[in-house]
Structure 1
Amino acid sequence: MQQTPDLEKNSLGKPDPWAKFRGLAWWQLVLSIAPIILLPIGGAIGGVIGAAGLFANLSLARKPFGTPAKLLAMLGVVLASYLAYLLVAGLVHSLFKN
């Protein structure tokens, strides 16, 4: 039985922070990183929603779906991230508007 290498660690045995991004196609990388653009736009709220979208897309990128289904699902996560930010930011703005 052949053992698969642990991709979460580098050659020195330290955790590899970039392991989740290795082996993805360029369009998967772009769609995975797209939600985190909310961080500079929306501060903490945008960062939390963007990070959730990033990890959701990284998870989808590793699923055994076909390319069209994976592309549509990842685009849906990006769109949902931005819509969730607009909704939460709008609610926070209306709460503190006075």
Structure 2
Amino acid sequence: MPVRVCLCLHNLEMKHLPGADPELVLLSHRYEELERIPLSDMTREEINQLVQELGFYRKETPDAPVPEEFQFAPARPLPTLTPRQAPAAGGKTPPEHAKREHQDL
């Protein structure tokens, strides 16, 4: 059964890929993939709740204007870069992925 989502969401683009399981792909402002969220097992209500929680702006109609404060929604402020941590005990530095979080989701 195909998953249908309201296309009145700002900065949300729907692409139908025949044979592919539906998923929400979150991209950074540089179009780098941040996360993939499978949608196959979700109801329409759950998907609508998810995109609302992620901060997508719902327009009244597809051609309705978007308030300035939502132009870049659901983007989050860019994470600030922190200086590299000093090596932990034993001379080992924690792996990069252990120090990062998805702050821009």
Short-chain TM bin = 0.3 to 0.5
Greater fraction of residues in strand: 2
The higher relative CO (CA closer than 8 Å, separation ≥ 6) is in 2
Greater fraction of residues in helix: 1
**Normalising by structure 1, what TM-score?**
0.32
Q: Which has the larger radius of gyration?
A: 2
